[in-house]
């Protein structure tokens, strides 16, 4: 039996469709409702819905053998897992964005609002710019509008949120897509099951 952590939401639905196509369908999963754990013993799979930002925690600690998570979360939390495949969907970019009239204020740290302090910190360290990180949990685009920050570091997918709030992309700092990750011990002790699932996934990606 493989335990698979799926990110709740559109990305998780897409991953399930891929796994179903690869022979890991689960009738219980498709019935909907508020259940969070679904099993198909015949296919040897158990799915759980978890918050996207928690997938890597379940996989790192072995509560799940594998899962799917965005590269943004991997970059931010550096979980001790194997990153086995780039699924090629869930594409977006981690960007620096700011108001149109933005000028880097010299002589003081740049105030950066973000949900991704480690990614932002690493990026500005790489260009030797001092920053003051302002950690927020959502609606990041508001921060420069209210003078809370000079810039934001955030995910841009369609660009609609930036556009509708009068912000512009200044730098793309990391391309993002969904990754299939596995627990290190599971990879060692369930190599056949994981290998089978991976080749099912890979054959449907190409």
* Residues of the shown chain interacting with ligand PRP in the complex, contacts defined by CB under 6 A: 138-141, 154-161
Nearest-CB residue for ligand PRP: 138
Structure tokens at 40: 């198909």
CB-based contacts of 65, cutoff 8 Å, min separation 6: 2, 3, 4, 59, 182, 183, 186, 190, 193, 194
Whose Cβ is closer to ligand PRP: residue 12's or residue 22's?
A: 12
C-alpha span between 68 and 53 (Å, rounded): 10
Give the nearest distance from C-beta 122 to ligand PRP in angstroms. 18
Whose Cβ is closer to ligand PRP: residue 83's or residue 141's?
A: 141
C-alpha span between 196 and 45 (Å, rounded): 12
Whose Cβ is closer to ligand PRP: residue 104's or residue 157's?
A: 157
Give the nearest distance from C-beta 9 to ligand PRP in angstroms. 9
* DSSP string for residues in 190-202: -HHHHHHHHHHHH
Whose Cβ is closer to ligand PRP: residue 39's or residue 161's?
A: 161
Give the nearest distance from C-beta 162 to ligand PRP in angstroms. 6
């Amino acid at each position: 039996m493989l335990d698979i952590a799926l990110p709740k939401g559109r990305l998780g639905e897409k991953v399930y469709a891929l796994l179903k196509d690869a022979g890991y369908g689960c009738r219980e999963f498709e019935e909907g409702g508020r259940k969070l754990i679904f099993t198909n013993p015949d296919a040897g799979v158990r799915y759980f819905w978890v918050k996207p930002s928690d997938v890597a925690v379940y996989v790192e600690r072995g509560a799940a053998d594998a899962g799917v998570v965005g590269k943004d979360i991997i970059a931010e939390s550096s979980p001790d897992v194997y990153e086995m495949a780039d699924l090629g969907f869930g594409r977006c970019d981690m960007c620096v964005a700011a108001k149109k009239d933005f000028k880097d204020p010299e002589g003081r740290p740049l105030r950066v609002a973000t949900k991704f302090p480690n990614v932002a910190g690493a990026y500005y360290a790489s260009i030797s710019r001092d920053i003051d990180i302002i950690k927020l949990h959502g609606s990041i685009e508001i921060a420069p509008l209210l003078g809370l920050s000079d810039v934001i570091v955030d995910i841009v997918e369609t660009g609609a949120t930036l556009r509708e709030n009068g912000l512009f992309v200044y730098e793309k700092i990391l391309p993002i897509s969904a990754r299939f990750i596995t627990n290190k011990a599971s990879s060692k002790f369930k190599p056949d099951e994981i290998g089978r699932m991976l080749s099912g996934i890979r054959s449907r990606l190409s």
